Every structure is written in C-alpha cells, then in structure tokens.
Structure 1
Amino acid sequence: MKEYKVVFRPEGQIINVVEGSTVMKAIKEAGVDFDFLCSGGKCGKCRVRILEGSFQSHADEEKFLGEKETSQGIHLACFTEIHSDMVVELLQTNTAQHQILSTAEEGSMEIAPHLCKKYIEVQKASLENYQSDWKRFRASLFPEESQYITMAETEISVLYQLSKALRTNQHQLTAITYGHEVLGIEQQDTTERLTGMAFDIGTTSIVGYLMDLHSGRELSVVSTVNPQTKFGADVITRMNYANQEEKGLERLQEAVTGAISKLAKEATEKVGLSSDDIYAMAIAGNTCMHHLFLGLSPKYLSQSPYIPTTTAPLILSASKFPIDMNKAGKIFVLPNIAGFVGADTVAVLLATQMDRSEEVKLMIDIGTNGEIALGSKHKLFTCSSAAGPAFEGAQISSGMRGAIGAIDHVTFEGELRYSVIGEGKPKGICGSGLLDVVAGLLELGILDKRGRFISPEKMTNPMVQGFKENIIQYEGKPAFLLVDGSSTFHGRPILVTQKDIGELQLAKGAMAAGIKVLIDKYGIVVEDIKEVLLAGAFGNYLNPHSACVIGLIPKTLENKIRMVGNAAGTGARLALLSSKEYQRGAAIAEFAEYVELASYPKFSSIFAGSMYF
C-alpha cells in the first residue's frame, strides 16, 4: 500500500504511515507524547492543526468543533485520515505543565538499605598463597564466611573485571553487595556514593524520588505525564492496545521505561550526579502499570476473573532490564494484592501504616480506577472500583486533566467564582472543579437527588436568583454555563451539561458503592470509622466538603478526612530505603483480603442506591 510522510510540529518527529491511517495512529506509532483521553471519537479533545496536506473533513467532527476552529485548520486526530504527505501541529498543553502531586506526609523509619558498598584490601597472591583471585576477594569481603563455603552468588561481569581490577588498583576495590551476592566492583573508595530512586507509576503521571541510601535524605524530585497516555487515558484502553496491536505491549513498555530513564537522568543531573550513581530502584504502580512496566501481557488481567500474571514482590537485576541506572544495581518491584488492587495500594498502606493501626481507618485513592481499603491491624479489606474517566475530565463536555488552564475549584457564595490552574483564561474544567459545581448546584437546590435540573419555578432557595441566568439549554436539555465564550482561552463556552452530571454520578456511585461494600463486609457502621485517608492527586486537590455533599464520601465522615498526599510515593521510598519495609509491604499484600465487587451478593442494589446524590 502507498505510504505518506507525516511531520509533527513543534517536536519535529517524522514518520511514514500507510494511506488511510488516522493521525491518532500515526502519533502513537511515532512515539510522540500526546494525551488521548479516550479510545477515539468520544471526547473530542485530541485537537491538532493540519498545516500542510489535503484531506476531507470528517462529518462526525462537527459535534466537537466550532466554525472558528475548523476555519483555523483544527481537526481531531482520531477522525483525520492521511491521504497525502502532512505537516501536523500538536496543540495540547506541554506535559511539564500538568499538575502532578509529588508531596506526601513524612514518617520515621530505620534505614536498612538493600544494597551495601564496602571498601576492601585484598591479599596479594604469591607462590605460598596461590588461592584464586575470587577466593581471596571473598575472604576479604566476607571474613566471617566458613572456609568450607565454596558456592557463592555473583554477576559474571564481576569475574570478567576482577583479575585486572585487582592488579591495576593495588588490590584495593569497592564491592557492591546484596546480602552475600556480589553485584559489582568499583575502583578506589566509592562507598560514600550510594543513591537510589523510588517511582510511583500512575496511570496519568510518574513521580520519581532520588534518595541517599545511607542517610535516607531526599536529594531531588522529578515528575512527568505518563507517556502511555498517547495509547489511551485509562488502563482498559491501554490493555486493549497491548492485547490487540502488533508490538502494542512492546511500545507501552518502552514508553514507561523510557520515561523512567529520562527522569533518572533529570533527577541525578539536578544534584551533580549521573544515572550510573543509582544502585537501587523501588517501583509502585497499579496492577496494569506494574505489568506494562515489566512487559507482562495484561491479556488475562483484562478478562474475567481478572487474574494478574503475578502478585509477588519481584527483585530484578538492572543489567537485564531496559532502565538507565548502574548495571550492578537491583530493581525492587512492590507486590500486588489481587485484581486491579496493585502495588500502589500496597505502598499507600505501607506509608499510612493501616496494618499497624488499632483503630479502623478508611483509605480512598480516587481515580479512573479507584482503590479503597478499610481496616486495622486486626483485619484489612480492599477493593477496586471502576469509576471511569469523569474524575480525569474525559467524556466531560468541557473536561480536561488538572493542567494549566483547568478550572480546579468553584464557589457559589454570593456570586460565582472559580480558580484556574496557572491563572489566565480557562480552557476547561478538571475533576475537582466539576465536583464543586455539582455540589454547589445541589446545595442551591438547582439539582435534585437524581441529578436532574429542577424547573426554575420550583427552585425555592432565594440564593438561586443570582445564578438562574447561568441555566441554559444545550442540545435540548438544561445545562449550567460556567464561563461564556468571551472569557475563555479558546472562545468556546465552558458548560456543565446534564450528560456531564450523569458521568459524575456513575463515577461517584462506583466509589461510594465500593466504600459501602467494604463497610458491610467488615461488619461495622460508618460511625465506627475513626479516620478517612485521601491519597493520590485527585483526592488531595478535591474539596472534601464537595465530596461529602454529592455522597462520594459519607457525610458523617467529613470531619474525619485527612489528606495524605502522594502516599504511594512515600511507600515506594520506604521500600527503597529499608529492606524491612519492603518485606512489610510483602506481608501487607498477603494480609489484605481482596473483595471482588462484581461478585458481592448485594453489590447491584448498593450501586443503584449510590447513584443518588
């Protein structure tokens, strides 16, 4: 078939694609960073400008694009087919401008690094001492070993270097060890330089922490949008891509490992080091991110009964994994629990110490795939709730991620007010802003408990008068006008439609139902919960009052809510700095009991009831 050349601006990447391919497919194959919020044709957010090339506009674009945009050459990547050479301008916000949560609560712990460095002087060989270089080296490194022990673990690369290194360095070397396993050797005394990185691989973002493994001191923090977003905004879309596309799994793994290598370079350069100074990494992520990082097929995870390839903690040799770090190092992957409750939840539980608590606590990590845990040191239940993309802004008419230009908070106190990330004119609304709008409309009596707009004559709250003009008709149904087109970045109005409210209901209903199922399973009442821990980016940016107003979190718990920041990142750091904490993470994964919501006897009725505001 005929191929055409596509050039992407401003990045400058060039790719040849088969005639009839969509721009969306070309972007994915080229490896260009681009955030696709749906699998195509649903959200209308993948706007690009066609600078050169002839093509025919797709009729389905009309429901997403206005005349002003089409006159400027703007089209949707998912609809635009390639039938000539093209130059395409990518219009999305730069990934560095996304609002990524990296901070979290700090705790105390005993530093117990997995890897150690030891500077040794090896006895020289002679006619009287004719033991092998390796045996004399081991005797200096582990003098407590029995002379009868002859079997010892080592990387073959150590043996390749050992004899020459001894003789060119006056028989003085630094050994890198993991237990009694020798991982590497270095010239001179390098014992002071021992760093590692902890990574929280989220569906939307990746955060990395460079740590001094001797002192536990944080040296730098780096983050980026997960480049896998170009293959889909949510785990389901990415799993489908891995399962159905040729080399799909390979591309997804390359995207995430490439991003981690870039972050490792960025983090070390900030403090005058290099990636080669990283000797250990700890990895936390949900079950899907865990599999894609490792290059494991998510095929059976995506099909009922949702079985992962492994839930065990894994220790990998850096020399055998495509990550830029010291090849003598190790990668410590935290364990999953079951289903979609993954290593990120283990890391959160590790950080919040719910496994050590005498009191019952509720942990909520809200996202496209939300994780919930309820319990104490006596018993601990977990579940995963498929909340859908509403909290991330996908399939919301004016929705977007929490990036520059997004309305993140809204108030109705006397007059309508909103804040915009990065200030300036708004481009859309993110999940926390949508939550505030719906909560405000409920409190004003503009919406009923079913999420429907009440007819104006039945609105009894006197405070409503100042907002009645914002209630307009959109596609034959009521909608709330948040910002008119004259005040937005792009000239399009920002609305909250009846459909948007329905999407939020589905998302909040799924999360609320998960909470109720765990409470029922535990055999307690809501009042028995002593604390609610909100983890993750969305949980820490939302207004807790708004979450309680819409019923996402039970109202009686509003005064018990505590934000714990990026607790998954904190848990990953604990697992990096202490072998004991890593082992505790493994114990938590075994201790926590997984509840499959779909098979829970009362789930259908609980979910139906949770849909109401």
Structure 2
Amino acid sequence: MGEEVNRERSSGATPVGAAAGPETVPTTIEIAQGSAVVHLAAPKDGGTTLLALLAEEPEIQVPAPCGGHGRCGKCAVLVNPDGPSRPEPSPADLRFLKPFRLAEGYRLACTCPVSGIDRVVAPPRDRSAFVKSEVPHFDAPADVWQEARSEGRFAVAVDIGTTTVASYLFDTESGEVESVVAEMNRQGVFGADVLSRISFSERAPGNLEHLSRAIRAQLTEMIAALAGGRRPSPGMVVVTGNTTMLHLLAGVSPSGIGRAPFTPAFTECRRLPSDELRLGNRGSVILLPSQAGYVGADIMSAAVAVDMDRDPRTTLLVDIGTNGEIALSHGGTVYTCATAAGPAFEGATISSGVGGVAGALSRWSRSGDVFSFDTIAGLPVVGICGSGLLDLVASLLSDEIVDETGRIDPPRDTPAAWQPLLVEVDGAPAVRYAGGYYLTQKDLREVQLAKAAIAAGIEILCAEAGIETASIERLVLTGGFGNHLRSESAVRIGLLPSLPPDRIVTVDNAAGRGAVLTLRASGTLDRIKKLALQARYIELSGHALFQERYVEQMFFPEVDS
C-alpha cells in the first residue's frame, strides 16, 4: 500500500519563486514517488512550475542541482502518464531530454508549468542514497564534557554537509557512540551547492524559511530515529557544518556569503535553547564556530579531530565537495582556504552523473582487454558518481585516450579494448562506459574545472607556508566523496599532489568526528574556538597567484614515459 497524503492548499499564499495572480483558480495534481502519493492544490494560471510547487512538499523530493534554473537537466518527471495532453517541451527540455523521453511525457520540473497537469510521477526517492557513516572509535579514554552530561544521558552530534547529513547518538555515561543515522541533505531539491541555495533563499519571500524548515524537519526525524523511542529524549545537540548550512539551520540569511566580500552574518559559536530550533531534544543546541564564509565549522572540527593543532607533522586536510575546503598545518600555523570546486564530483554537472545512489558506477578499471566496474549495492548502472568518474578519467589518461589538455583524442594505436567504446554524442567525441551511458567532452571539461580549483588551492596554501607539496608528511582525505575515492586516481588526474601512498590516509567524516569529540573530550570546544580564531585564512578570489595556478592546473598531468 502506498502512503497517500492530501494537501488541500495552494502552497501558502504564493508558491516558491512564483508570483500569484489575483484570480488564480486552484486545481489538484496527484504526485506519485515510489510508495508516496500526495495531492497538491496549485493555481491554474500557469505561473507556477512543478518544481516550485514540489519544493514545499516534504514527502516528495526531486533533485534540482542547479537550483531550478534549467541548467542541469536532472529534475525530469513523467507528466500525465495516462493521457495524451502534456505541456509543450521547453527549450531546456529539448536540450537535456532525448526525443523518446519527451515522447513518453518526461518534462523538467523546473520549467514545466502546472497548468493542465493532472498527475505526475517522480523518479524513486532514496533518502539514504547509500550515505554511510561509520561509528567512530577512539583510542583515548573518554573524558566526557560535563556540560553535555548535565543535560542528559544521551547527546547528539550532527554534521550538516551540503550533500549529506550525518548524526551520532552519544552516551555520556559510556563515552561511546551508540548509533549513526546518515541521509542525503533534503535541501538538495533547492540546489546542489551553497551558491544555488543562497540564490534560492533570495529569490522569493519565504524561501529562507523553506530551507530552514527542511533541515530542521530532517534533523528532528534523524534525532528521533537515533533515540529509537528512548525516554527521555536526548539532551545536548552539537552541530558542525559549513557556514551556509549553519545559517540556514538557524534561520539566518546567508546572503552576505554569496557575494564579495563573502561576509557571513555570524561565525562565532552559538548556544541556542531547545525550543528555538525545535529539534526534539531537551537540552541546548550548540553551533560550532566557523572561520569565514567558505571555511566553516566543519573544517575547524575536522582539523581538530585529526590533531592538526597539535601534531607537529606537516599535514594537508582536504574535504573534497562542492565547496572544497582545505587546511594545511606547518611550523605551528594552520592555513585554510576554500575553492569553488562545484558539484561535478557529486555528479550534478556531469551528463550522466549521479550522487552516491544505488546503481551508481563507483569503480572502474582495465586489465588487458577486460574492463570491469562496480556499482553501489551491485545494482544495474544508473549513472556515474564521483569515485567512478575519477577512476574512468584516470584510465583514459593512462591509456592516452584523453590528452593532457582534456581532449578526447585517441592515438592510432588505441588499445583494442577501447575502440568499441569510442563514439560520438551530438557530433562530439565521447566514451561509452556502460550500456547507454557516456562520458562526453563537456563532462571532461567539468572535471578539469573542479580538479583545477582544488589543486590550485593546495598549491596556494603550500606557497603561503613556504613549502613544496613534496614536503607534505600526511595528507588526510575526508568528506563523503573524499572517503570513497581511490587516491591513486586522484593523483593521476592531478586533483591531489603526487605523494607516496603511505602518506595519504582517509578519515570517515572527520567533521562529524570532531563534533563527537566535543562531547567526548573536555576541552575540544575550546580547541575548535581557538583554531577558528588563530588559523590563517587565505582568500583565494583576490590572491595574486590563484588565477595563474588555476589555469595551470586545468591541464592533466602528462603520461609518465
């Protein structure tokens, strides 16, 4: 039996991002997604898009990585599947959807008007989307923060990432994490990266509230799932995350972060009463301190979690995501920066890209004439995610199918195994990596843009510290994507500096680990506050060398002779 919900409303006074006419007449649209079925009232005037209508319905989620601007083609839904009457395809529909899909009735939700629509079928939703976060283990004995203990036996640590949200139930008596719940961030329907969400928050009155309500509702459900019916409910909640995510949780406009000089409304540690955010806990909610608009509490807590403020080794911490945050410790100073890597590694700007969902191609390799790949959960391919993308591009480079400029230009002596996979899509060279899925020339450009931003950021931090990348003694990869990639593939495409493999380590969600440490180890909060104040932040947008290094890093490393 499906879950059916009636929403007899016209999405408040005005649907998100739309202007209401004075004489709009409501009509009811049935929306189906998996087992969920809802009925939404929407105006007939055509001034509302399907995506704008769905943005207010928590039961239905349609991905819109570009924030609903018609630039990514990821929000396709099936419109009026049982009837011939459908809206005419928009220019964006014609650009992104194949003719057979248009004929079947697929339209992009961000450009499809609600007028004349009776029923919509959205692609299946998987909240967990293979989001995994391990229960963190610690070698040092627990020295539980007494303030956390005073607010109840159980506390919760949360890491709000742009793409994923991880939560940890912490037992203040045992000093250990009892359970973990991780999900895709439900704000993803409003855009894949922070700039898309900032833009959405400014687009119409009430949009900031929609974003805030989405993450608060999600955290409330996750905390309830962690508690598992325990009474009383958890006490203290400690939250880390990037600066924009913390603003949205607090209901504070992030507009200042979206434009120069990228000034957030707050960076300090905030302690809020439980009734202000209403997350279902009994104690206070602590938002950990950020350093700058794009260097958030997540990188501060991650740096402390891997002891960058104490370990004398030269350490590089890289959180590879839509906003690539980087920290380098050397000679007693921690340097930080953020790079606009964009959502390519999350699959958003790749033609057949997907996030870490079941069926995503996550590994690729060639042995002789045999190609092999793995998919998440072992299901049929539905697209390619970041780790698989790096493997595929690394293999193309090593076999000289793609040259150092990023051009698909196979040599005359192309290995026989590759030849059937080298095709054309829309008149341009492409690589068929599985079934009807292709890596296009434009996709490769997106990879170059993303990897260049992160690689240039690393070089700038090293230059500020007065060292070469070869001097890095420990490279720590973290974040949802960083924890799953093959470091050798990242080095091969030039995303990471070439270092001996034993210097590169991965830490599962170091930011979340730092939030847990705040509860588990007295004094951790003071360490994070101190680091946020004392770390040397490098603003790359105005840095004299950044553009030069960025252009240089657009090239892939040449094949070793």
Q: CA deviation at 1:559?
A: 3.8
Q: Letter of the aligned partner of 1:257 in structure 2?
A: R
Secondary structure at the counterpart of residue 208 of structure 1? strand
Residue 42 of structure 1 aligns to a residue in which SS?
coil
SS at 1:609's partner residue?
helix
Compute the displacement of 1:579 (Å).
4.2
Is the deviation greater in 510-519 or in 415-424?
A: 415-424
Trace 1:291-310 onto structure 2 (pairs within 5 A): 291-310=247-266
Matched with 1:530 is: 473
Distance 1:246 1:107, change over 3 A: farther
2:114 maps to a residue whose letter is: I
Deviation, structure 1 residue 59: 4.2
List runs of 5+ in structure 2 lacking aligned partners.
1-23, 557-561
Matching of residue 441 in structure 1 with residue 401 in structure 2: no
> Which residue type is aligned with residue 211 of structure 1?
F
Instruction: Say if 1:105 and 1:352 are closer, same or farther in 2 by CA, change over 3 A.
Output: farther
Using the TM superposition, give the Cα deviation of residue 72 of structure 1 relative to its aligned residue in structure 2, in angstroms: 3.3
Contact 1:113 1:214 (8 Å CA) reproduced? no
SS of match in other structure, 1:541: coil
Using the TM superposition, give the Cα deviation of residue 594 of structure 1 relative to its aligned residue in structure 2, in angstroms.
Answer: 0.6
- Asked if structure 2 preserves the Cα contact closer than 8 Å seen for 1:391 and 1:504, the reply is yes
User: Unaligned stretches of 5+ in structure 1?
Assistant: 118-175, 178-192, 485-492
Q: Structure 1 runs of 4+ off > 6 angstroms? A: none
| Counterpart position of 1:206 | 165
After the TM superposition, which residues 407-422 of structure 1 pair with which residues of structure 2 at under 5 Å, given as runs?
407-414=361-368, 415-422=370-377
Amino acid at match of 1:48: V
How far does the alpha carbon of each residue in 1:495-542 deviate from its partner, in whole angstroms, 9 at most, with x for none? 011000000000000000000000000001122110100011111111
Residues of 1 paired with 2:131 and 2:363: CA distance?
14
**Aligned pairs for 1:123-202 within 5 A:** 194-202=153-161
| Preserved contact between residue 35 and residue 229 of structure 1 (Cα < 8 Å) | yes
Q: Deviations over 1:348-389 (max 9, x none)?
A: 011101100111100000001110000146101000010011
The amino acid that maps onto 1:466 is: A
Closer/same/farther in 2, CA of residues 114 and 256 from structure 1, 3 Å limit: farther
Tell me, in whole angstroms, the C-alpha distance in 2 between the residues paired with 1:330 and 1:302: 29
Note the C-alpha offset of 1:262. 0.2
Would you say the 8 A contact 2:361–2:384 is kept in 1? yes
Q: Pairwise mapping of residues 191-340 of structure 1 onto structure 2 (< 5 A)?
A: 194-269=153-228, 272-274=229-231, 276-326=232-282, 329-340=283-294
Describe the superposition over 1:188-207 as per-residue Cα deviations: whole angstroms up to 9, x where unpaired.
Answer: xxxxx611000011111111
Structure 2 partner of 1:162: none
Give 1:90's match in structure 2, choosing from 115, 119, 122.
Answer: 122
Q: Deviations along 1:279-320, whole A, 9 cap, x unmatched?
A: 101000001101101111111111101011111111111133
Change (3 A) 1:296 1:116: closer
Alpha-carbon offset, residue 442 of structure 1: 0.4
Q: Which amino acid aligns with 1:318?
A: S
Alignment match of 2:131 (pick from 87, 95, 99): 99
Structure 2 length as normaliser, TM-score?
Answer: 0.90
Report the CA distance between 1:55 and its aligned residue: 3.1
1:367 aligns with 2:321: yes
Identical amino acids, percent of aligned pairs: 33
Superposed counterparts of 1:523-602, under 5 Å: 523-602=466-545
Match in the other structure for 1:47 = 76
Q: Is the 8 A contact 1:102 1:207 kept in 2?
A: no
1:26 aligns with one of 15, 31, 53: 53
Taking the aligned partners of 1:470 and 1:103, their CA distance within structure 2 comes to 41
Aligned counterparts of 1:336 and 1:57: Cα–Cα separation in 2: 47
Q: How many matched pairs? A: 523
Q: Give the secondary-structure state (helix, strand or coil) at the position aligned to 1:399.
A: coil
Matches of 1:311 and 1:116, distance apart in 2: 22
SS of the counterpart of 1:422?
Answer: helix
Mean CA deviation greater in 583-592 or 513-522: 583-592
Question: Shift of residue 116 of structure 1?
Answer: 6.6
Counterpart residue number, 1:62: 94
Q: Which whole-Å CA distance do the structure 2 matches of 1:79 and 1:377 have between them?
A: 53
**Contact 1:548–1:558 (CA under 8 A) maintained in structure 2:** no
Q: Give the distance between the partners of 1:217 and 1:540, measured in 2 at CA.
A: 22
Separation (CA, whole Å) in 2 of partners of 1:531 and 1:85: 56
User: Is 2:145–2:518's contact at 8 Å kept on the other side of the alignment?
Assistant: no
Residue in 2 that maps onto 1:73: 105
Could you tell which deviates more after superposition, 79-88 or 250-259?
A: 79-88
Q: Flag the 1:586–1:116 CA change in 2: closer, same or farther, 3 A.
A: closer
Return the alpha-carbon distance in structure 1 between the equivalents of residues 447 and 260 of structure 2: 25
- Secondary structure class of the residue paired with 2:512: helix
Q: Deviations over 1:194-225 (max 9, x none)?
A: 11000011111111100111221211111111
- Determine helix, strand or coil for the equivalent of 2:110: coil
Hey, what's the Cα distance between the residues in 2 that align with 1:294 and 1:346?
Answer: 19
User: Does 1:429 find its partner at 2:370?
Assistant: no
Q: SS state of the match for residue 4, structure 1?
A: strand
1-structure distance, mates of 2:61, 2:379: 24
- Pair 1:349 & 2:303 matched: yes
Change (3 A) 1:411 1:116: closer
Q: How far apart are the structure 2 equivalents of 1:229 and 1:527?
A: 37
Matching residue of 2:18: none
Cα-to-partner distance string for 1:146-200 (whole Å, 9 max, x where unaligned)? xxxxxxxxxxxxxxxxxxxxxxxxxxxxxx56xxxxxxxxxxxxxxx61100001
- SS at the partner of 1:504? helix
Please give the alpha-carbon distance, in whole angstroms, between the structure 2 residues aligned to 1:351 and 1:383: 18
Structure having the larger proportion of residues in helix: 1
Q: How far apart in 2 are the matches of 1:108 and 1:34?
A: 43
In structure 2, C-alpha distance between the alignment counterparts of 1:606 and 1:525, rounded to whole Å: 14
